[in-house]
Amino acid sequence: MASPDTHLPSFETVALSRAGRLLTITLNRPDSLNAVNEQMHKDLVDVLHFVADDAASDVVVLTGAGRAFSAGGDLGYIAENAQKPERFDSDVRRAKRIVFALLDLDKPVICRLNGHAVGLGATLALLCDVIFAADSAKIGDPHVNVGLVAGDGGAFIWPQRIGYARAKEYLLTGELVPAPKAEQIGLINHAVPASELDAAVDAFCQRLLNGSPNAIRWTKVTANLELKRIAHASLDAGMAYEAITVRSPEHRAAVEALQRRKP
């Protein structure tokens, strides 16, 4: 696995490490299940900007610290946005930059899905090029369960992976998909025992590192052209609808119900 590099920039909520020409991005709020708060939104924008210009890497791994990949939006931060929804408008701009940074990145991005990926966490995983998941992990986008539109990427990336019929079933219910089933329906590439996850990711990354960097990069760029077209066509509308639902009484009631639950 990658090791710390003092020449890499440091961020509050995201960690970078390097092993040769492999760069690993780790969502690093393990005590909060790597839930995305305002700082992580900002850090992800800056991290992806760095990665795009990093001449010392050819392959990127995206993973999470601790027992989750990412629990999605941080509940405290979601509650603050529900009370002051104008703050969400800044999130919209940053979320769009994160989505297109991943789609524009010419280096292959391999997702090491070490645990559950929910909401925006699921979108981050699904925007990667190849996904390896621990078979105990689940992935889902339950925006609707807190009265929100799945506007920050889920509504466009899920159908591209598993087709509209299946994508609508999961997006309209917010159901979490166990990794083995996610592999079966094509949502992810591989579900493996947790004890084998590192070896599977490392072997695949090494295969890419042994290949032709430019041929691999430009094949990805070509494959992503249609994804970017679809994202450009739908993302602004999706985020606008999500911004409307952030201001809804249904969303505020859902957030208040979550806050009343015991941890």
> Which tens digit of pLDDT belongs to each residue from 63-86?
999 999 999 999 888 888 888 888
Residue position matching structure tokens 């990336």? 157
Let me know if residue 204 belongs to a domain. Answer: no
* CA distance linking residue 230 with residue 225, whole number of Å: 9
Let me know if residue 62 belongs to a domain. Answer: yes
Let me know if residue 7 belongs to a domain. Answer: no
Let me know if residue 4 belongs to a domain. Answer: no
Domain with residue 226: its CATH number is 3.90.226.10
Residues present in the chain in total: 263
Counting the structural domains of the chain, the total is: 1
Q: What is the pLDDT at residue 144?
A: 96
* CA distance linking residue 189 with residue 179, whole number of Å: 10
Let me know if residue 205 belongs to a domain. Answer: no
Give the CA dihedral 220, 225, 227, 232, nearest 10 degrees: 140
Residue ranges making up the domain that contains 187:
14-198+212-260
Q: What is the pLDDT at residue 2?
A: 47
**Nearest residue to 101 (alpha-carbon basis) of 142, 60, 134:** 60
CB 157, CB 126: distance < 8 Å: yes
Let me know if residue 8 belongs to a domain. Answer: no
User: Could you say which residues of the chain have pLDDT below 50?
Assistant: 1-4, 6
Q: What does each C-alpha distance from 175 to 8, 86, 171 come to in angstroms? A: 38, 29, 7
Q: What is the pLDDT at residue 263?
A: 53
Give the CA dihedral 184, 141, 24, 187, nearest 10 degrees: 20
Q: What is the pLDDT at residue 130?
A: 98
CB 140: neighbour CB atoms within 10 A?
25
Let me know if residue 3 belongs to a domain. Answer: no
Residue-wise pLDDT for 29-48, tens only, equals: 999 999 999 999 999 999 99
